[in-house]
Structures are given as C-alpha cells and as structure tokens.
A and B are shown apart, each in its own frame.
Chain A
Amino acid sequence: MSTIADKTVRPQLALSHDVMQAFYRLLAVALICVVLALLSDVFLTMNNILNVLRQTALLFLMASGLTLVILTAGLDLSIGANVALSACLSASVIKLTGSPLLGVLTGIGCGFLIGLANGVLVTALRIPSFIATYGMMWMLTGVTYYYMAGETIHGFPASFRHLGSGYLFGVPMPVYVMVLFLLIGGLFAQRTIWGQQIYAIGANPVAARLSGVPVERRLVLVYAMSGAMAGLASLIILARINSAQGDIGEDLTLPAVAAVLVGGTSLFGGSGTVAGTLIGALILTLVLNGMNLLQINSSWQPLVTGVIVLLAVWIDTRTRRIGE
C-alpha cells in the first residue's frame, strides 16, 4: 500500500531515526515496568517476568516474519490461519509417527509452503497482498476446519512439549527461540544483501528494480519467511497447550500486526527493524499482563491495545518529522 512517493533513501538519517525509535520504545518499556511494579507487588517476581517473556516470545515469533513483509510495503493477513493449519498437520504427524522431529519439520514446512503460495499470488498473479493473504486466510481456514471436523488432537510426547513449556537453566524454552530468531532476523535484515534489498524494495520499488534487485524473487522470499515463522509459532503453541484445534491462532493475526506497528515499522515500507518488533511485542504483552495482574475487566483490553497502537505510531510520526 505504498505511494510511489518521493522517498529518497537516506541511510545516514535512517539509521539515526531507527536509533531514536528504539530509544523511545525502550523508554516506554521502562516506564510501563515502573508503573506496573508500583501498582502490583507480584509484577517484578521472577515467575511473572518469565511469564511475560514467554508470552512475548510467541507474539514476536508470529510478528518477526511479518516484519519483513511489511518492510516491503506488503501485508500478510493469513498468518493466523497458517498457524491453525500448520499446528493441526504437525499434531497429526506427531501422533501418527511418534516423532517430534517430523512434527517440527511438518509445521515449519507447511508454514513455509503457505507463505510461498502467498508470494506467488502477490508476484505472479499480481494480486495486492492485502487481498491475496485475506483470500488465503479463508481458504486455509476452510481446509483446517474440514480436516479437523470439529475434533481436537491432544496429548504429545514430553520431548516435544518441552519446546513450549520446558525450561533451560530456569528460562522458558520459547525465550531462547525468540532470542535466536531476533539475532537471525536482525542480521538478515541489516547485514545481508538480501536484507538490504528488501529495505530497498519497500522504500522505492521502482528504483530497486532499476538497480537490479530481483524484486519478485525477494517478495516471494519474504512471504515464505513470514509463513515459515507462523509455522514455527504454531509449534510453540502446540507444545504449550498440548492440543490442536481448528481455531488456534485465529486471534493472533491483528496483535502480530499491532506488534510490528508499535515496534516502529512503517506500513509504507522501507523502514523498521526486527528488534523494534520485539519491543513492540514486549510493550503489548506487558500491558496485557498488567491488566491481568490488576484484575482489570478484560473488556478493556481491546480499547487499551487500540490506544497504545495509536500512541506508538503518533510518537513515531512526530520523531520522523523531527528527523526530517
């Protein structure tokens, strides 16, 4: 959804802008933590902090691949449905073969293929990403519902469940996965040619193409990665709740998008970071955690989330102005 606007890529300023963004966001995180620590005496306990990190990890994994898509000024609305299908297929495979490894491969593989299909719809069939992934979402959901036929698959081997609910040196496993993909994602985006090309496509697709970037191939790549990350997230959910049902992940899509936006990535493409998405996910999770701890009526949650998204982006827009 980008305008062919007169956006010139100014690497120097972009870097300092990203630093500014990260600074404001970390400030926000610190502020929220201070407020919650004052309001609730259980907030700063080890258990709660680990809880928050684990819940953030899940949201971040969903949102990390999505960040790359949004960097190209695209959108992937199918990640929730992707999670459902990948989880259900992995669950079946684990049950049939007894092998967690095969299940993991199935989950990530299924997610990847779905992402690939999205990429093809967007590049070869030239369907706008909003609509292509929206249509894909419906089709995936239909397939999942048909496959599951209203049943649940439950009870997985302990070795698999360790991925979601286990601990390593006292830290929940999903946190390790989160850190791993934070590093991979960050390095990919900032330090590889492919990453730079993705930024270029988002900032100015015409110029990118003219300078030799294989735009279609890179776009297919980002959608495939978004899908694969959704597949990974589905495995973590599967491991956590120890069962698969047709409607898993249904309400994870918009929060993932929110995490990316709160993290400072621009919908117009070309600016934002994977680390920013992590901070965005952290902010959203902290607020929900706080509301739970303070036993605030859950009806407030959509409202508060909405306000935070608006605030975060507004602050961004102001700092962007200052930067220019």
Chain B
Amino acid sequence: MSAQAASPTLPLLSRVPGVAIVLVVLCAIFGALSPGFTTPANIANILTQSTILLLLALPMTVIIMTEGLDLSIGAVLTFSSIVLAVTVLATGSVTLAFLAALAVGLCFGLANAALVALLDIPPFITTLGTLGIAQGLSLLVTDGQSVVGIPRSIEHIYSGTVVGIPLPIVIAAIAYLATHALLYHTRFGTYVFALGGNREALRVAGISVRGMLIRVYAFGGVMAGFAALLMTARLNSAHPTAGIGMEFDAIAAVAVGGTSFERGNGWLLGTLLGVIALGVLRDGLNLLAVPSSTQVACIGALVIVALFIDGLRSER
C-alpha cells in the first residue's frame, strides 16, 4: 500500500482513501433514495456489470505502477472478441475460439511490450498506435457489422452461476486474487513496485527492466483476451465497437482507486473499489432515472472528487 502522510486538519479522514469515502457516500445516497438499489438482484447486477472492466483495470494498475499506460486494451478486447466469434463460427470449436482470443490478446500485449521495452517508445504513444491497429483490424474483419450466430453455450459463461454466485463474479474474483498474489506476494511484484518508484535500484540489482516490462504488458494483453471471453458471452455476439472507451474507464478506475501515475504507488484494492464505484454510480443514476446528460456530468464529477479527496490527504 502507498505511504500516506497524515494531514493535520483531517486526522480520521486522512486514513480513509478517497475512493472508499466516495463509494460509501454513493451507496448511502442511492440506498436511501431508491428502494431497488439494495436488493440482492441489483447488487448482483452492479457486480456482474463491473467484471469486464475489472479484468481490464487489474493489469492496468500494474502497468500504471510501472509508469506506463495501456491505451490499447479496449481495442484489443474488441478484436479478441471478434476473433473468438469468427473462430467459433468457422471451426465450431468453442475451446479453439477461446484459445484464439487469448492468443490475440497475448500478441498485442507482446507487441506493446516490444515497442515499449525494446524500441523505447513511450507507452502512451505505443498503445495509442496499437489501439489504432486493433480498432482498424476489427473494422476491416467485420465491415462494421455484428458477428452473430455463435453457439449458445458461450452465453453461459456470463449468465451461469456457481453455488448461486454469477459466474463472471467468480471469474473476476479469481483474477483479482491472482493479481493480488502476483503483486504483493512474489518477487516479481516487488520488482513492479520498484519499476515505478526506483528504476535505478532495479538496474543496479541486475534485474532486467526490459524483461519486466515485457511481462507486464503481456499480462495486460492476456487479460484483455479473458475480458473478451466475458464480453462475447455477455453480448452473445461480437461487435467492432464493443470495447470502445473501456481503456479510459479502466484508467479512471485505477486513478480513482488511488494508484498514482507518478510515484509507482499502487493499490489493487483501490482499483477494485474504483471499478465498483463507477458501477454503483451508473446503476444508481439509472435507477433514479436521472437524465442521461446529468449522468454524463456526474461521471466526470466522481472522478475529480475522488482525486480531490486524495489530494487533500497526501502532502507533497
């Protein structure tokens, strides 16, 4: 977790991260104003709807901690989803389709890694470039149309349950625990923390920064592939615009969650809370039938408020 200096004026508040405050406040408001909000069905909705974004935000946290960024992750999700659908239609094999989707994600992840680690192109630009490439491929393969007619069995990944818990939540929980273990309980994780704050120390210690970056971006690509599985199952089809903008949502969730762009302070739980906060906001506003234009403004406000609170707490 990040080291936070206590602000002298808000002693209690200073220990609670901005995202947690925002989340609690939102739940309180929506719970009070909207009877349907606290029902199990709605809570399940919020969590299930957040799973795809979480799968993108987890690797994004790690990448941002290395002072990087992956703008391509939404487009890679889209393209993987299309490859999945096309493969299952062409071969009839769901397993092959899954593997194809993961492979596509891995390829893009490695491409990002190569450009960042080997060619030294800044991550923002690299992933902006690969975003265009993935988006372009999606449009070209589908000519703008949805890919439909995939077997119903895929849909069960999204709609199925395990002991009453929706399957996507189980998948997301596993992904979270895996990333958590990776970050906080392995040497690799320690190196990631170091990559962000103290790259020199790594070099001095003889750890290959390049190797690290390759693994980090490859991780992002593979997770995009997993997210593509969920997305395709959710839509029961693939569409070239399905993942548009999700990379920015993921970055926002990570930032709202308290991970800093600059100092390599990463907080994975914060990312989870950030993703849920965004989901709660959308769901709550929909339940209250708040006009869409106001919803749009609220999303921006949430992001700024969360970071404002964090800014109040830590001192330069």
Q: Which residues of A contact B (CB under 8 A)?
A: 1-3, 121, 125-128, 130-132, 134-146, 149, 254, 257-258, 261, 266-268, 297, 299-307, 309-310, 313-314, 317
A108–B179 alpha-carbon span in the complex (Å): 47
Write out the residue numbers on chain A whose beta carbons fall within 8 Å of the beta carbon of B311. 125-127
A292 to chain B, nearest CB (A): 16
Write out the residue numbers on chain A whose beta carbons fall within 8 Å of the beta carbon of B137. 303
The one of B69, B252, B316 in contact with A134, judged by C-beta atoms closer than 8 angstroms, is B252
The one of A130, A144, A304 in contact with B255, judged by C-beta atoms closer than 8 angstroms, is A130
A1–B124 contact, CB under 8 A?
A: yes
A3–B67 contact, CB under 8 A?
A: yes
The one of B122, B133, B140 in contact with A306, judged by C-beta atoms closer than 8 angstroms, is B133
Stretch binding the partner chain, chosen from B35-43, B201-209, B296-304: B296-304
B125–A127 contact, CB under 8 A?
A: no
Write out the residue numbers on chain B whose beta carbons fall within 8 Å of the beta carbon of A303. 132-133, 135-137, 140
B255–A306 contact, CB under 8 A?
A: no
Q: A130-B251, A303-B140, A306-B136 are in contact. Are A267 and B124 (CB under 8 A)?
A: yes
Identify the 9 closest CB pairs spanning chains A and B, nearest first.
A306-B132, A303-B136, A142-B297, A138-B300, A142-B296, A139-B300, A310-B129, A145-B293, A299-B139
A132 to chain B, nearest CB (A): 7
Q: Which residues of B contact A (CB under 8 A)?
A: 67, 69, 115, 119-122, 124-126, 128-133, 135-137, 139-140, 143-144, 199, 248, 251-252, 255-256, 260-262, 291-304, 307-308, 311, 316
A306–B252 contact, CB under 8 A?
A: no
CB nearest neighbor in A for B115: A310
List 8 A-B residue pairs with CB atoms under 8 Å apart, sorted by A's residue number: A1-B69, A130-B251, A131-B303, A139-B301, A143-B297, A144-B293, A149-B293, A301-B136
CB nearest neighbor in A for B71: A254
A302–B135 contact, CB under 8 A?
A: yes
A127–B308 contact, CB under 8 A?
A: yes
Write out the residue numbers on chain B whose beta carbons fall within 8 Å of the beta carbon of A141. 296-297, 300
A267–B140 contact, CB under 8 A?
A: no
In this complex, the member of B300, B301, B307 whose beta carbon has the largest number of chain A beta carbons within 10 angstroms is: B300
Write out the residue numbers on chain A whose beta carbons fall within 8 Å of the beta carbon of B133. 302-303, 306-307
Write out the residue numbers on chain A whose beta carbons fall within 8 Å of the beta carbon of B296. 138-139, 141-142, 145
Q: A299-B139, A303-B137, A306-B136 are in contact. Are A135 and B125 (CB under 8 A)?
A: no
A309–B125 contact, CB under 8 A?
A: yes
B172 to chain A, nearest CB (A): 24
Q: A131-B307, A132-B307 are in contact. Are A304 and B136 (CB under 8 A)?
A: yes
Write out the residue numbers on chain B whose beta carbons fall within 8 Å of the beta carbon of A136. 300, 304
A3–B298 alpha-carbon span in the complex (Å): 32
Q: A130-B255, A130-B261, A131-B252 are in contact. Are A138 and B136 (CB under 8 A)?
A: no
Chain B interface SS verdict (over half): helix
B94 to chain A, nearest CB (A): 28
Known: A254-B128, A261-B125, A261-B128. 6 other contacts (CB 8 A): A130-B261, A138-B301, A142-B296, A299-B144, A303-B140, A317-B119
Write out the residue numbers on chain A whose beta carbons fall within 8 Å of the beta carbon of B292. 145
A160 to chain B, nearest CB (A): 27
Write out the residue numbers on chain A whose beta carbons fall within 8 Å of the beta carbon of B67. 1, 3
A310–B261 contact, CB under 8 A?
A: no
A146–B122 contact, CB under 8 A?
A: no
A203–B302 alpha-carbon span in the complex (Å): 32
A302–B293 alpha-carbon span in the complex (Å): 28
A300–B136 alpha-carbon span in the complex (Å): 6
A25 to chain B, nearest CB (A): 15
Write out the residue numbers on chain B whose beta carbons fall within 8 Å of the beta carbon of A143. 293, 297
Write out the residue numbers on chain B whose beta carbons fall within 8 Å of the beta carbon of A132. 304, 307
A305–B132 contact, CB under 8 A?
A: yes
B300–A137 contact, CB under 8 A?
A: yes
A303–B67 alpha-carbon span in the complex (Å): 26
A135–B304 contact, CB under 8 A?
A: yes
A146–B303 contact, CB under 8 A?
A: no
A257–B140 contact, CB under 8 A?
A: no
B136–A146 contact, CB under 8 A?
A: no
B262–A128 contact, CB under 8 A?
A: yes
CB nearest neighbor in A for B314: A126
A147 to chain B, nearest CB (A): 8
A317–B303 contact, CB under 8 A?
A: no
A295 to chain B, nearest CB (A): 15
Write out the residue numbers on chain A whose beta carbons fall within 8 Å of the beta carbon of B261. 1, 128, 130
A1–B262 contact, CB under 8 A?
A: yes
Write out the residue numbers on chain B whose beta carbons fall within 8 Å of the beta carbon of A305. 132
CB nearest neighbor in A for B292: A145
Q: A1-B262, A310-B121 are in contact. Are A127 and B304 (CB under 8 A)?
A: yes
A121–B131 alpha-carbon span in the complex (Å): 28
In this complex, the member of B125, B128, B298, B307 whose beta carbon has the largest number of chain A beta carbons within 10 angstroms is: B125
B67 to chain A, nearest CB (A): 6
Write out the residue numbers on chain B whose beta carbons fall within 8 Å of the beta carbon of A299. 136, 139-140, 143-144
Q: A302-B135, A309-B128, A314-B121 are in contact. Are A134 and B248 (CB under 8 A)?
A: yes
A257–B69 alpha-carbon span in the complex (Å): 15
Write out the residue numbers on chain A whose beta carbons fall within 8 Å of the beta carbon of B139. 299, 302
A193–B139 alpha-carbon span in the complex (Å): 47
Write out the residue numbers on chain B whose beta carbons fall within 8 Å of the beta carbon of A144. 293
CB nearest neighbor in A for B303: A135
A73–B130 alpha-carbon span in the complex (Å): 22
A128–B293 contact, CB under 8 A?
A: no
A257–B143 alpha-carbon span in the complex (Å): 27
B124–A131 contact, CB under 8 A?
A: no
Q: A128-B262, A131-B255, A313-B125 are in contact. Are A121 and B136 (CB under 8 A)?
A: no
A310–B307 contact, CB under 8 A?
A: no
